[in-house]
Amino acid sequence: MQKTLSVKMPRAYDIIIENGLIKKVGELIKPTVKGKSCVVMTDTNVEPLYLDTVVESLKSAGFTVSSHVFLAGEEHKNLRTVEDMLSVMCSAGLTRSDFAVALGGGVCGDLTGFAASIYLRGIDYIGIPTTLLAQIDSSVGGKTGCDLVYGKNLVGAFHAPTAVLIDPDCLNTLSQKIYSDGLAEAIKYGVIKSEKLFERLLSEDAHSFINELILECVTIKRDITEKDFFEHGDRILLNFGHTIGHSIEKYYNFKDMTHGEAVGIGMVIMALAAERNGECEIGTAKRITACLHKYNLPATTGIDLKTLTEGSYNDKKRRGKNIKLVVPQKIGNCAVKVLPTDKLLQYLGGEE
């Protein structure tokens, strides 16, 4: 059964959720795009699984289609890959009325969206997320970008897609590790906005209600980002666990630890700090840890707090000498805390 969510942002678009839709993306997007030419961007993991299917569907709908395959992995989420994408768009002769297609996980969506935002000062792009993390989080909301050696997502733009097409059947090809990676973001949604969702994740197997899970997470993100597209207010709540999580990813040079694993650890560290400082219901960190462990996600890291704090100094949520933190008060409710950057280590329970 098809589910459609309408998103009202600076540019309105629809999110369509339907099992098997990857075979008919051409007919689904035809009413939403103006141009007749596109480039499908995907990575070396997704190419053998879905590229031919998507290209054939687009061609059958009357589009002129080119494709570009880049190396998979967060370590390739950089300006070099973006430049390659831009070159392919030029070679394909895309005009301002044409569009790009992001076929893949969060890295592909962020890179393709960013390339689309700066090519000819902005063209349309369609998101076809193939991982759980991308389906419930990164494909929605219009954040695009890439990493620098100094940190994660330090270059980017707010550029909403023209449509997002979510096929839950794509999750059947994921490894358990990558599947769990996405569930970390689902747990995040439960902590920041829905105790009911969190409890369901803890008491049931997420796979048994995956379509409902996708819909609920996307709805939560839709509702938040509609009100605060440029992240001046409540949208920052979506970054719960990410300040420390990004520092962990940077420590590992964006290898060996997935985004979801790092964010899960970041959530526990922030919950423990909030409990220690009397801002959070005691036991919250323990419950988050239990939920992470249920889905084979780590809750601790061997990296010391001083190193993690120093790694967060380039975080996008810094404002001058302050940093904005997302602090849980209890499961289902978080708040934004502004803290002097030089007090972060102390707040987390490190050295005075």
Please list the active-site residues.
121, 143, 185, 221, 231, 235, 239, 242, 246, 259
Of the candidates 66, 49, 48, 59, the one whose C-alpha atom is nearest the C-alpha of residue 24 is: 59
Dihedral angle, C-alpha 10, 231, 261, 209, nearest 10 °: -50
d(CA 152, CA 104): 19
Sign of CA dihedral 67, 71, 73, 79: negative
Within 10 angstroms of residue 130's Cβ, the number of other Cβ atoms is: 29
Please tell me the total number of residues recorded for the chain in this structure.
Answer: 352
What would the two tokens of residue 94 be?
A: 């895309």
Sign of CA dihedral 77, 181, 139, 67: positive
Of the candidates 133, 100, 94, the one whose C-alpha atom is nearest the C-alpha of residue 260 is: 133
What would the two tokens of residue 300 be?
A: 């601790």
CA 215 to chain centre: 15
Buried residues in 57-93 as b, exposed as e (16+ CB within 10 A): bbeebebebbbbbbebebebbbeebbebbbebbeebe
d(CA 309, CA 349): 11
d(CA 268, CA 258): 16
What would the two tokens of residue 168 be?
A: 């839950």
